[in-house]
Amino acid sequence: MTLRAALRPCLIAGMVFQACAALAQQAPTTPAPVSDEEELSLIYGDKETVSIATGSAQSLRRAPAVATVITAQDIAAMGAADLDQVLEAVPGIHVNRSANLYSPLYVVRGIVSQFTPQLLVLQNGIPVTTLYQSNKGNLWGGYPVEHIARIEIIRGPGSALYGSDAFSGVINIITKAAADTPGTETGARVGSFSTRDVWIQHGGSMGGAQISAYLRAGETDGFRSIIDADAQTRNDSLFKTHASLAPGPVNVGYQAIDGNLDVQWDKWRFRAGYKLRDDLGTGAGVASALDPIGKSRSERITWDVSWSDVLARDWTVGSQLSFLAYTQATPVDYQLLPPGTTLPTGTFVNGMFGGPDTWERQFRLSGFAAFTGIAQHHVRIGVGHDDLNLYKTLETRNFNYTAGGTPIPLPSVIDMTPTNPFLLPQRRKIDYVYVQDEWKMAPDWTMTAGVRRDRYSDFGSTTNPRMALVWDAALTLTAKLLYGRAFRAPSFIETYGITNPVALGNRLLQPEKNATTEAALSWQATPDTLINLTAYRYTMEDIIRTVPNAIAGTGATYANKGGQHGHGVELEATWSINRNARVMASYAAQMSTDEATDTDAGYAPHQHLFVRADWQMVSELQASAQVNWVADRKRSAGDVRPPVPDYTTFDVSLRTTRGKGQWDLGLVLRNLFNADVREPSLAPGLSIPHDLPMAPRAASLQAVYKF
């Protein structure tokens, strides 16, 4: 797919959007005077309310959770072009990378694993989780930000409301509705590494319906940072060969199409989304050996229909039906190991190839009722049913396995699906019910208590409670004490894997469990200064890990093995110097311990500092600078390498804010001083010994026109 071909839908959409704009009902445009507070809200967006904590909008300061809100205005000010760049600014969150496809791993409070499925990612309240690996999908290929209205983030457990995977936290990406995109906007961006993006979005009304639409196409060659030694480097040293492609560049290019449609009419709402990633490179290699050949393709189609109404004075009810179709495929098989690879079982003359593909369908039906008829209580009851179907798998490869899991060369690449597949189709059904009560115990005290019970068709039931006590100690000071339990259901590959080269599946797996206690303070120190402080402690049990099989020489399997505990603090401060300047800073410190070895759990920063300063230089020109310091990353048990090197990056951005009828321009420079940024390759460190190099200095220039 060329960029020119990808742009055709944008051109067509542009004509459609212009037709919509011509029919749109125009609201009066006479501006009203605004206060200083309202002006700041226009600049930085509504950061004072949050809905992710309880399912309904409420004050962020008094929400029964440790939550962060990032608005579209924040995203524009920091010059972010991708979700990963935004999340790095959240205290307690750091974006690691997987060698496999360089997929981002969202690490919260020191909880790291190979695919990091312990964080739930939602889009408009609906999970984007894939069944295969129980995360957002390894074939992620970035997430654009132009159509994001706000991002709401919970750090800490959320299973009492959201179920599985709301383990270390929850991220809800809320896309723009018609009110967020009045009129039509078109934009383009070019940048380093042959990166090109174009998009168009429109919001307006038609026939009584509020309509918002977005379409984006883009492509990048990706940065070409050098891996100096990989998994094949070690094989070469063991078997006296010279097959490794290292030193060589990572392969992180891709082509992308994204689209959204949002239609609101009376009490109904329909949303649809499309996310395509094509020609997606393999990063440092699916098997941690450089692969310049393999390509991936993922396609995600979503839609949902929701309805809500106030039935009586004290009752609000609603329901939602959602659908997700997800496909991940390898149109060009992964080159797992390069030509000339020699193992004890033989030589792969042309290289070792494999291509696992999966197809999924997910239906989710839910309903809720909120009741306020009891004085000082707000009760919410919800029920739901999920039908999760990984209905097709396909695998091609040119190897088989010994009993111990060592690959045996085959003469050619063949379809293994009929005889020896890595995974058979599987289906999981979930029924759940939850209840939550927000009780205003006294004028300054609110207690929120809730519990959710999930019943899974394959492993049984799990119950997860939460409790939060919020005290308005003074007009400027709010204190919170929070407790919650969470779980992460085993993925399909962990439960049902048959010939997975990493480990065999285990049908007896139970969910991972997490219990977290948090204490938080929010202090409005001055009218212009807000300080938030959080301390937490968590305990994980039944962690799903690979362990050697009981029978010697038969490889590994997934099992509930061991635990982890951790504690930390998170500090946030915002200082509005005046209506034209604002400084935001956050600092997070954590310590996580693997209970099996009584050593550091590894790979997450013990210290993370982020500072951003925004300055409205003149009425139509805004500058922003940000510093990101990531430090003190230890290795896990068995990984004898030195600690992961610290790094500091400095980014700057400059943009105009002229609004409708004029072009707005933006310039962003990332990693201005060209720091050597590396994310850790995971234990035991033999595959990629010197970690994963990230992007060097990069620049981008964008232009946006609003009609």
Number of H helices, E strands in the chain: 7, 42
d(CA 207, CA 462): 46
- pLDDT for 671 equals 98
- pLDDT for 502 equals 73
| pLDDT tens, position by position, 538-566 | 999 999 999 887 654 557 899 999 999 99
Residue of 549, 542, 545 whose CA lies nearest to 558: 545
- pLDDT for 501 equals 67
d(CA 104, CA 598): 28
| pLDDT tens, position by position, 402-419 | 766 788 999 999 999 998
- Cα angle: 59, vertex 63, 65; to 5 degrees: 150
- pLDDT for 8 equals 43
d(CA 435, CA 54): 11
- pLDDT for 25 equals 35
d(CA 347, CA 400): 13
Residue of 373, 394, 307 whose CA lies nearest to 132: 394
Q: Which CATH architecture has domain 3-23+40-235+319-327+354-394+420-706?
A: Beta Barrel (2.40)
d(CA 350, CA 219): 30
Beta-strand (E) ranges in 372-492?
377-401, 407-415, 426-442, 445-456, 460-474, 477-488
Bridge pairing between strands 119-123 and 169-175: parallel
**DSSP assigned state of 289:** S
- CA distance to 299, 327, 334, 530, per residue, from 293 (Å): 20, 20, 7, 51
Q: Which residues of the chain have pLDDT under 70?
A: 1-46, 403-404, 501, 550-554
Domain edges within the chain = 3-23+40-235+319-327+354-394+420-706
Q: Which residues contact 601 (CB under 8 A, 6 or more apart)?
A: 110, 111, 112, 564, 566, 592, 593, 594, 636
